[in-house]
A and B are shown apart, each in its own frame.
Chain A
């Protein structure tokens, strides 16, 4: 544990040094930049709730990815799974036949899980049945889902008389996930994210599924000797990951944008991939790191507003974080080798 804390401190030092240099190159007042990012994320309860609204989908995607990483699968397709979850939710939310908002939201939630899971399963089947590596399969499916959502927004789901990438018609207010007064995050989103975190921990650490995924991830050939079918567990893990991503899509649609937009996933799937690697695949670090990245995302908007800097710099800072973390991870792995 002490080594872990030391690694985190060393990593933080590296991140700050690296970021310091980047900001200096960009001609930014470094301390001011850090201060404004901090204030932008934590200066008020509204801002904290905005951080939480990013934290929710990031955490959900990360939880899903823990399953696939456990089975040693690179689920790059998580981005498309979020998109398909959002599409599935929207398909239900557009159905005029059900009057009860709670019922329709519950159905949308389930459909988003189903659609995200099915899209994940598709990538899994491409791997297990078609021999397509999950990275290429996932990337391909991301493009397909992006094309699909654009077609829906410009085609059958477009606003009357309007063809624009700005999205579909706004959902009826009754179908917006509720927030506490003065807060900007859907309460249901936080509850769902915490529940999924707990379930992920239970499944991965306390169930046979977690153990078997670990066995397959570490040595699929040896797992076969214990009559554990890698294919079956590959599919299970990617199905779960896709379902988690699908829920993220549901929350983005009903709790954040209240409509379907082309970039509904907001890149959280890709960000979650980095986040999970950064955590060393440890669930205990996921909510903390997700909060850190969410704060950076929300706080960095201050760079253009206050300092007139390009907020793309926050992406550079995030990149620095990941590179430094990977560097530290590399050192740890090397240290662990006999």
Chain B
């Protein structure tokens, strides 16, 4: 019996040795490996998928580049897994650049950047790079989605029959507040400048669910929130979350005979989920930002940067240059599409400037005086929602 156990032990040791023998894959001299940490699923038809596809485009267009990735990086989907833990792993696989695609990863990316000073980090939507004390290997990237959301607000206000627009908000922070505000400003522009109506007759209500996507038992259920909007007279729901629940519910309601529509968020292909109910989608194109940073690393001229990239107003659908765009949906009438194009042109040539006073915050304090235009930082650090918007500011 003893001999048998010795034999088994020897086999076990040999098996372990065999398993250990292949070294972890390492980058060859020509390869540039970058790691992508996505907060949601890579196929969410929203935020994470937009990042994933930009990474794939990088692989196609920058020779030698290779993406390694992991999705669903959040404590609910991956309990016990932390950002520094994942970064350790991606670095061990040869990653020279780590991209963290969520505001939720701020602390983890900051910690990982300090643990790996030789690796470069891009944190999406943060602003660490503005802080002189922040690590030199950490930059920030974000798109000026404010323009996309202004267009979404425009399309929603041009379409609503009830004058009630719902906004399905994620969590409350400066980013989400400025995006909701942008939507509202787009809608209010339609109300006052295009339709010449009393702004008091426009209802713009935000319900925050608590995170970027549904986490059962933790966040409010976005499906339920969208249903509540439609059931209480809101006929257009704009989504600010990473997934497409608002559009799916709108489609269901439409099939039941209701005249309702929705605007999803983030991803160019989001309308494909339910095209008949989709007015359009404001979406990110991360390729220009990613390629900027990857090229800077490859050319050895990396520097800590805070990049807030806008649309290419000459051609918003230019995937090489435009970081933001709006794709019209099937449910958006031809007439509104034409008016939206004029509106976008006005935004581009700055003949339309929606962050210009007089504008008050929700608590009636002054945000911008008559004729005053907001600075980038005032918009970036939006402290409150605006007067005329319903919903919590904190």
Chain A interface residues (CB < 8 Å from chain B): 2, 5, 9, 34-35, 38-40, 42-44, 46-47, 50, 54, 146, 150, 154, 161-167, 170, 184, 256-259, 261-263, 265-268, 297-298, 301-302, 304-305, 311
Contact = CB atoms under 8 A, between A and B. Distances in A.
Contacts, number: 108
A40 B80 contact: no
Contacts of A268: 80
A301 B79 contact: no
Contacts of B13: none
Nearest to A262: B218
Interface string B57-95: 000000000001111100110111110111011101100
Contact of A165 (B1, B92, B211): B211
Contacts of B171: 162-166
B22 interface: yes
B173 interface: yes
Contact of A39 (B19, B103, B104): B19
B112 to A, nearest CB: 11
Given A262-B218, A266-B79, A298-B85, 7 more contacts: A38-B16, A38-B19, A258-B107, A261-B75, A263-B76, A301-B78, A311-B72
A163 B208 CA distance: 9
A163 B84 CA distance: 23
Closest 6 CB pairs of A and B: A164-B171, A266-B79, A266-B80, A163-B172, A166-B104, A162-B173
A39 B88 contact: no
A54 to B, nearest CB: 6
Contacts of A2: 1
Contacts of A266: 75, 79-80
21 contacts: A2-B1, A5-B5, A39-B22, A50-B85, A150-B218, A162-B172, A163-B208, A163-B210, A163-B392, A163-B394, A164-B210, A165-B211, A166-B104, A184-B88, A256-B82, A257-B75, A262-B76, A263-B76, A301-B86, A305-B90, A311-B78
Contact of B92 (A44, A257, A258): A44
Interface residues of B, number: 45
Nearest to A268: B80
A46 B88 CA distance: 8
A5 B79 CA distance: 32
A161 B173 CA distance: 6
Contacts of A297: 80
A305 B70 contact: yes
Contact of A54 (B19, B22, B80, B92): B80
B8 A301 contact: no
B232 interface: no
B30 to A, nearest CB: 21
Contact of B218 (A34, A165, A267): A165
A161 B380 CA distance: 13
A297 B82 CA distance: 12
Given A154-B210, A163-B394, A164-B210, A40 B82 contact: no
A257 B68 CA distance: 24
Interface string B187-227: 00000000000000000000010110001011100000000
A184 B85 contact: yes
Given A35-B19, A161-B394, A305 B215 contact: no
B44 interface: no
Contacts of A162: 171-173
Contact of B79 (A34, A46, A50, A267): A267
B24 interface: yes
B126 to A, nearest CB: 12
Contacts of B71: 304
B59 to A, nearest CB: 14
Contact of B89 (A54, A164, A305): A305
B84 to A, nearest CB: 7
A5 B85 CA distance: 34
B93 to A, nearest CB: 8
B129 to A, nearest CB: 18
Interface in B343-394: 383, 392, 394
A57 to B, nearest CB: 8
A288 B75 CA distance: 26
B70 A301 contact: yes
A320 to B, nearest CB: 19
A44 B24 CA distance: 10
B29 interface: no
Nearest to B177: A161
B276 interface: no
Contacts of B68: 305
A267 B76 CA distance: 10
B392 A259 contact: no
A297 B78 CA distance: 10
B334 to A, nearest CB: 40
B338 interface: no
A255 B134 CA distance: 23
Given A184-B85, A262-B218, A42 B76 contact: no
A47 B156 CA distance: 50
Nearest to A257: B82
Nearest to B84: A184
A175 to B, nearest CB: 14
Contacts of A302: 89
A263 B75 contact: yes
Interface in B157-174: 171-174
